[in-house]
Every structure is written in C-alpha cells, then in structure tokens.
C-alpha cells in the first residue's frame, strides 16, 4: 500500500550499518534465526556505535517534523492541570500529594489543625529531577512517615523514615525495597515491610528476586531485622501485607512473579504469631484479604472470575461465608469499610461504579459518581481523627477531568468535589462514546472513541492504542496526548482488549499464553471498526503502545502492515524467544509461555514480532522509544527489531522511516512532567507527520 508522506522529508536517509549474523538455533525442532543477537550487549563497542548513529538519525528526523513548537506549547498547557491525591488520615493529620501547574513531580503535604505544610518534595531532595517518590506510608499515630525513592528510573527503591513534626530524617536509606509495602505497628517504633535478601547470598542471576517479609525496629540495623516470611517459597514471590490498627492481625499475600494466583496467610500477633495459610496459589485464584473489626474479608476469583466477597473468623480463616456473590456483568475491583457499611468498587465495561452494602452483604444502593470515568484510590478517616466518620474520599479522572478528589457523605447521600486539580486549563470540545465491535472469533469487544464530533464527517487521522495483558484494565482517564490529538482534528481510540481485566479473569485468560493471538485480533478488529465507521482510513491510522502494549503494536505492524500508517512502539517486548533471559522476563512465562517448553515455543514463534519481520514488505513508519535505565524490559528488544526492520522494509525511508529514540537516566515508569512532555512531542509529531495531522 502507499502511505502519505510527511511534510518536507529529508532528501536521503542512510540507516546505520548493522552486521547480520548467520546465526540460526534449532530449538525443539524449530529453526530460529537471530541475526542481531550482538545488539543484546550494550557494552559491545559495535552496539554503542550503532546506537549513537541511530541517535543522530532519529534526532534529525524528529526535529524536522512540522508543528513541534505548537504541539509542545499546547501539551505543556494540558499538563499544567497538575494533580491531587486522595488524603490518608492518621490521628487528625491528613497526608496527600499535589502537583502544581509548574511542578515536575507531586509534593507530599500534611494538613494539621487547618494548616498545610510540605512534608516531602523530591525536587528539593534532588534538583536534577532524577529522583522519584515511589511509595509512602504514615504511622498510625501520624508521627512518622516511611517513604521510598528511586533514582534514574531504576525503581530500586530506597526506604527512609522521617519525623512528621520536624521533617528530620530518622533513618535510611534501607536498600533493596523495590515494590515494598509498609505496615506500621502501634506506637510507630516498628513496622513490617518487604526487602530482598542480601544479593551475595543468592545466585547472581536471581539477585532481583528472593524477597522476604521482615519486622523492623526503627533506628536499628536492617541486618538484624526478623525474617517473618518467604523462606522455602519460590524465589520470584512478591508480597503484600496489611495490619489491623490494634496490631493484632497480620495478613500477608503473595504470588510468584506476575501470575494471577495468590497465596494468603494470616497471623495473630497477640497469640503465637504464626502465619497460617488461608488460600494457596495452587488453587489458581486471585485473592486479597484484610481484617476489619472481628472479620476477615476476602475478595477472590475462586469459583468467580468476576470476583465475589467472602468473610471468615480470623481465627478460622479457611471457613468462608459468601457475602456478595459474583455478578455477571461487572467486576468487583475493591472493597472498603465506611461507618458500618461496605463500599464495593465495580467496573462495568471498564467504567467505575461504587455500591453501598450492609455488613451482611445486602445491597443498599449506588453511590453517585461525577460521570463516566475511573476511580483512583480511596480513604476513610481513622479512629483517632475527629472528622465525620461517614465520608469516603476518592480520586477521580475521566477523559476531560484531570486527577481530582471527591467525597461522598453517607448521611447526605451526596458526592461533591473535595479538591480539584490545581491548574486551570482550557479544554477542547470533544465527545466520548463506547462502541461495540466483533473480533475475529465472534467475541464482542468494546472501545472508547474520543473525537471532536459525535459522528464521523470524513476520514481523519486516528490514534489507536491499547494494552491487553497481565489483567491490567484500561479505563477512561485524562490524557494530554489524546486531547491534543483530538483538538488538532484527529480521532483517539482505546479498545478493551482481551488479556486485560475489563471483563474479569476469564477476559484476561482469553488473551494469554496459547490464546495471545486473540489480543492482536481484537486490536486489528478495532482498527477495522474505525475504518468501517468512517472515522479514519489505513493511510491515516496510527497505533501506539508501551511495554506489553509495545508487544501489541509490534505484532500488529508485522501481522497487518497494510492496515497501519505509523507505529510508536515504546519499551517493548519483541523477541519472544529470548525475553526470559533479561531483567524481569522470567516472571512473565505464566502470561506468555516459555521457549523452554516445545509447545509454548510454538505459541511464541507464531507471533514474536522480531521473528516475523519479512524482507520486501512495505512496513509503515515506525518509531521505537526506549529508556536505558529500564529495569523491567530490556532495550535490546527494540534495538534488534529496529535493525531487522531497517534491513527488511521495502518502504522508502524518506517517507516511512524506521527510527530508534533513546533516553538515559529514565526507566520504565516514573518520570518528570518535562521529560514526559519531550517524549510526547516526539511521538505525536512522528505519528502526525505520517498520517497528515497538523498541529497549529
């Protein structure tokens, strides 16, 4: 097919030379070529030289794209909304984050006696902008705060404790605390947390794993911490934990890697302190559990793929009573306690709902929400706070509402705005709708479509994105990039692909392992729906995805190159034969399958983007964006795929280039607003140039 040309393309493009190895491995009877394996090694001088040449080529192309200044200014405005977080109440103090219109990172505040003050500002800690606040947890008395920061995007959190009254550091850093929850004991002198064991005690290739639950006394050497849980379990286990406010009940949940099969244990710390199993991962179900009052609550997918709520006596934790059964048309995503009632968070086709239930599970009514959107965290007051006990605070966002905080009063039955995002922004006029379409196997899939019109008037440049994996749902939310694209005259679309959890665990399982092709089929069908309805055309259709979503668009461009005009593939998985060899890849075999298993290798080879690149195909314009400090997905995936596509494509590189954009000292997730802005400008102008969208 013929793709439209970007404005003012360079006269010539010469891709950096990349030697092709005559390397073909025979795995379980399959010949598996890997001509660019040398690009896996970032320390190889050839890799460094090739990468530097790609930097020059990519920067020259991106900087020449029209509309960059106008887009940058508008995106900066749309990002100046800032954000505000849901308050956490501790003994009369409220802790919350807020990012102002000109700030790169959220700042943690404490509100006490009506006066607000800054408690933690990572920009003050590190003016370079390389440090991010990963997690924080105040003690029950509100006198101490445990917080975790990481540097340069590596997500290797360092845990600190500060005094809330003075802001002075009490202890830290304690290293090896990536993804660690903190559960404070009464008095603020001790807490439970999760930390990796000393890396010198484990094999070198397992040093990112081997977590344990520890009990720590503030101010003591972490080497003396009590090892509470984790010995003898699989080395890939991740753990969560919760404690009752009286310090009696400790609940620990865990799962090997990213699998959706949980184990739960409970201990009576006022008794023998022994952790007893509530449910085993071998049951094959997800389960989150916590103690409230004299009851153990369990939200589980056991015999209920859309989840149900059960309860038990903590002293007899395996004897469950069902309180709220599974519903056929919504997913139970969360439960909290509010002034003698239960509040259940549900998502119905990716849209959040809140429902009020009696303690015995009886439905009492629906809690009014601001619109069609997504809930982001919630909280109620603790017993030490003299604030109305019947109020629920929750974070909220939709396609035109940046993250704000609302509160619901049980006594009045009303939901009102508590704290809006601090920045005032003029938003474009747009419409949002959720449409249904049919995938290749007849499954009905839903898709959000955001545009300047309720109905198509003519085919327009469209940007289709998605994720489709790891039971991660994609709901309505404020995205400056989507608003800028639509304001310029484009259409933006987000389908609820299988592999996510928008329709429960069965929806997730329908898009994993041997059924992974369903995800790609759902995505292709979404593109065809946009075209059939008149929103866009193949010559105007761009796609973008990151991480597992990078795999999604990598598969899309190799399976249906004629369907898409341009692709942004960010922090992607692309070599599905060797992905387990790098960083956290071994954790994902439950989701994708393992090349070590003959049958599963066949699944992976059927769609692995790197192995599906074919010479002589007119591939669309492709921009890979990677982050050199990524500690989850190795950038070598994008390097190898970029070299393969540059070698194979039959498209004119001056019209449909294949480019690689790198960033250093930034990782897979957290980043400053300014760095997010720079990345978004490069991504959107690249896609706009290939689809004919103009930013004015």
Counts for the chain of helices (H) and strands (E), in that order: 12, 39
- CA–CA distance, 179 with 691 (Å, rounded to integer): 40
Strand partners, 256: 237
Token pair, residue 347, equals: 């998502």
- CA–CA distance, 586 with 236 (Å, rounded to integer): 9
* Centroid of chain to Cα 27: 33
Catalytic annotation, pick one of 547, 570, 631, 672: 547
- CA–CA distance, 291 with 316 (Å, rounded to integer): 12
Catalytic annotation, pick one of 3, 160, 508, 668: 668
* Known active-site residue 668: yes
Residue 300, C-beta contacts closer than 8 angstroms, at least 6 positions apart: 279, 285, 286, 287, 288, 307, 308, 310
CB of 484 closer than 8 Å to CB of 684: yes
- CA–CA distance, 471 with 258 (Å, rounded to integer): 10
* Selection from 632, 481, 499 nearest residue 555 by Cα: 499
- CA–CA distance, 152 with 451 (Å, rounded to integer): 36
- CA–CA distance, 370 with 454 (Å, rounded to integer): 21
Q: What is the DSSP string of 335-362?
A: EEEETTEEEEEEEETTEEEEEEE-TTS-
* Known active-site residue 280: no
Backbone angles phi, psi at 183, to 5 degrees: -120, 110
**In which element (H, E) is residue 547 found?**
none
Count of C-beta atoms within a 10 Å radius of residue 203: 10
Cα 437 to Cα 349, 434, 521, 536, 578: the distances in Å are 13, 10, 12, 16, 34
- CA–CA distance, 571 with 551 (Å, rounded to integer): 9
* Residues assigned a catalytic role: 547, 668
């Amino acid at each position: 097919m013929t793709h439209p040309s970007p404005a003012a393309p360079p006269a010539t493009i010469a891709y950096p030379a990349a030697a092709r190895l005559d390397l073909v491995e025979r795995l379980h009877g399959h010949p598996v070529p890997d001509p660019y394996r040398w690009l896996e090694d970032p320390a190889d001088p050839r890799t460094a030289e090739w990468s530097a040449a790609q930097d020059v080529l990519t920067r020259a192309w991106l900087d020449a794209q029209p509309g960059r200044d106008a887009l940058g200014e508008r995106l900066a405005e749309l990002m100046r909304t800032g954000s505000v977080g849901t308050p956490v109440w501790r003994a009369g103090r409220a802790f919350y984050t807020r990012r102002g219109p000109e700030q790169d990172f959220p700042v943690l505040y404490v509100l006490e006696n009506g006066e607000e003050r800054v408690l933690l500002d990572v920009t003050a800690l590190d003016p370079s902008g390389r440090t991010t606040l990963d997690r924080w947890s105040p003690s029950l008395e509100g006198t101490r705060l445990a917080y975790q920061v990481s540097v340069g995007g590596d997500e290797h959190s360092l845990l600190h404790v500060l005094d809330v009254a003075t802001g002075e550091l009490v202890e830290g850093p304690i290293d090896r605390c990536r993804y660690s929850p903190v559960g404070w004991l009464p008095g603020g002198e001790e807490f439970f947390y999760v930390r990796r064991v000393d890396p010198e005690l484990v094999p070198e290739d397992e040093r990112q794993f081997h977590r344990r639950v520890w009990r720590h006394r503030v101010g003591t050497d972490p080497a003396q911490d009590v090892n509470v849980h984790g010995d003898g379990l699989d080395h890939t286990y991740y753990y969560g934990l919760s404690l009752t406010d009286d310090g009696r009940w400790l609940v620990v949940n865990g799962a090997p890697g990213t699998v959706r099969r949980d184990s739960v244990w409970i201990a009576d710390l006022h008794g023998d302190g022994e952790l007893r199993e509530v449910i085993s991962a071998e049951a094959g179900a997800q389960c989150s559990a916590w103690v409230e009052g004299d009851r153990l609550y369990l939200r589980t997918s056991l015999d209920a793929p859309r989840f149900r709520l059960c309860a038990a006596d903590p002293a007899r934790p395996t004897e469950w009573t069902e309180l709220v059964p599974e519903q056929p048309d919504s997913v139970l995503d969360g439960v909290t306690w509010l002034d003698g009632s239960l509040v259940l968070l549900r998502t119905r086709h990716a849209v959040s709902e809140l429902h009020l239930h009696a303690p015995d599970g009886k439905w009492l009514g629906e809690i009014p929400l601001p619109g069609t959107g997504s809930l982001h965290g919630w909280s109620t007051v603790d017993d030490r706070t003299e604030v109305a006990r019947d109020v629920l605070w929750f974070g909220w966002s939709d396609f035109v509402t940046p993250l704000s905080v609302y509160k619901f009063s049980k006594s009045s039955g009303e939901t009102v705005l508590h704290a809006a995002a601090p920045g005032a922004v003029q938003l474009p006029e747009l419409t949002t709708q959720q449409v249904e379409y049919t995938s290749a196997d007849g499954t009905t899939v839903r898709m959000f479509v955001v545009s300047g019109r309720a109905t198509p008037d003519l085919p327009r440049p469209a940007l289709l994105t998605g994720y489709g994996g790891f039971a991660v749902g994609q709901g309505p939310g404020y995205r400056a990039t989507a608003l800028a694209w639509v304001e310029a005259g484009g259409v933006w679309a987000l389908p609820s692909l299988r592999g996510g959890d928008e329709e429960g665990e069965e929806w997730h399982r329908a898009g994993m392992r041997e059924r992974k092709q369903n995800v790609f089929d759902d995505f292709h069908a979404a593109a065809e729906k946009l075209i059939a309805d008149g929103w866009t055309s193949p010559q105007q259709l761009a796609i973008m995805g990151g991480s597992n979503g990078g795999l999604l668009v990598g598969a899309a461009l190799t399976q249906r190159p004629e369907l898409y005009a341009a692709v942004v593939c960010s922090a992607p998985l692309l070599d599905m034969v060797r992905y387990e060899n790098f960083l956290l890849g071994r954790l994902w075999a439950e989701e994708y399958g393992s090349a070590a298993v003959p049958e599963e290798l066949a699944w992976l080879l059927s769609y692995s983007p790197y192995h599906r690149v074919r010479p002589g195909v007119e591939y669309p314009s492709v921009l890979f964006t990677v982050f050199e400090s990524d500690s989850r997905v190795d950038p070598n995936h994008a390097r190898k795929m970029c070299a393969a596509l540059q070698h194979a494509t039959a498209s004119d590189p001056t019209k449909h280039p294949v480019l690689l954009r790198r960033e250093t000292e930034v990782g897979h997730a957290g980043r400053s607003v300014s760095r997010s802005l720079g990345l978004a400008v490069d991504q959107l102008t690249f896609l706009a140039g290939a689809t004919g969208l103009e930013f004015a």
